[in-house]
Amino acid sequence: MRGSQVQILLPAWFKTILIDRSHPLNPFPSCGFVSPQTLVPRSLCYTQVAKHIPVLVMLEQPQSQDFEHKWPKYYQAVLGRPPRPTLLAALERFETPGFAVDLGCGEGRDTVELLRRGWRVLAIDGNREAFDRMLGREDLQNTDNLTTKVAKFQAATWPQTDLINASFTLPFCPPEYFPELWDKIVQSLPPGGRFCGQLFGDRDDWASIPTHTHHTQEQAEKLLEQFEIEMFRVEEEDGKTALQSPKHWHIFHIVARKR
Ligand SMILES: C[S@@+](CC[C@H](N)C(=O)[O-])C[C@H]1O[C@@H](n2cnc3c(N)ncnc32)[C@H](O)[C@@H]1O
């Protein structure tokens, strides 16, 4: 203990913050110390020093776990971004266009590219607004080749396909459904068919979110046992989300061909 500051070993989601007793948003005006169990909105956290008292609070989870309401903001934030490099790497390995399933297609950055290259596409997403965005895009062409489906991965079905593209989507599948989802992916690809997309690693900041699915590198490689791996790139860095929140990313970028 130094002055009025207390030093305690805390898990990663605890932060020492300064909170102003007289701040209008402070719900604990009489407290000099907020119990570690108290959830305090991020809006209360600020770091001016004058007239502040040091307290320990448990922040809300580092990232809100309610992703559903964030997707429309995400679609807006990534507007106009190019197709994912994993999709491009998979496409350059096909001699002719075929039929692709874009799982968790979002606002359509990859679906647009597939259609532009003459592929037939079944675009699936659990959020209806993804399709409002996609169907309003000026660069969307060859729409006769497009079928859209609002469905959760857990319940979605699709026919045999040459390519499953799952860009930054599979980690959002709840863990209890992931094995079945992965099995559907593998079973719907014939020999020579490809999977491309991302899995998130165990050191990713979101790995602690119980409704998300993360894998160690060993687990990710095991999932790909029935595939010949054409790309397995590990990315690990401190960065930001599309909505500009700081985040430690641990990502496996994958392109793989079914044996
Ligand atoms: C990070 S965005 C990726 C969108 C797009 N593939 C891209 O690369 O930008 C994740 C998408 O997955 C969808 N998604 C998340 N969980 C889902 C689930 N359980 N079932 C179906 N779609 C889901 C979201 O609605 C969102 O559009």
Residue 100 and residue 192 share a domain: yes
Residue 174 and residue 232 share a domain: yes
pLDDT tens digits, residue range 161-215? 999 999 999 999 999 999 999 999 999 999 999 999 999 999 999 999 999 999 9
Residue 111 and residue 30 share a domain: no
Decide whether any atom of ligand 1 lies within 6 Å of the 126 Cβ: yes
| pLDDT band with cut points at 50, 70 and 90 for residue 22 | low
Residue 237 and residue 187 share a domain: yes
Burial 4-31 (b: 16+ CB within 10 A, else e): eeeeeeeeeeeeebebbeeeeeeebeee
pLDDT tens digits, residue range 49-70? 334 444 444 444 444 467 889 9
Residue 43 and residue 123 share a domain: no
Q: Does the residue 107 lie in any domain? A: yes
Residue 233 and residue 205 share a domain: yes
Tell me, what CATH number does 101's domain have?
A: 3.40.50.150
pLDDT tens digits, residue range 92-132? 999 999 999 999 999 999 999 999 999 999 999 999 999 99
Residue 92 CA to residue 256 CA, distance in Å, equals: 13
Residue 137 CA to residue 206 CA, distance in Å, equals: 30
Predicted TM-score of the model (pTM): 0.79
Distance 106 CA to ligand 1 centre (A): 6
Residue 196 and residue 137 share a domain: yes
Enumerate the β-bridge partners of residue 252: 199, 234
Q: Which has more confidence, 257 or 24?
A: 257
Distance 171 CA to ligand 1 centre (A): 9
Q: Does the residue 5 lie in any domain? A: no
pLDDT score at 44: 42
Residue 222 has pLDDT above 50, yes or no: yes
Distance 8 CA to ligand 1 centre (A): 39
Decide whether any atom of ligand 1 lies within 6 Å of the 78 Cβ: yes
Q: How far is CA 118 from the centre of its chain?
A: 28
Q: Does the residue 104 lie in any domain? A: yes
Structure tokens that stand for 203 in this block:
């050191």
Q: Which domain holds residue 47?
A: 14-59
> To test the ligand 1 pocket, which listed residue (125, 184, 198, 241) has its Cβ within 8 A of the most ligand atoms?
125
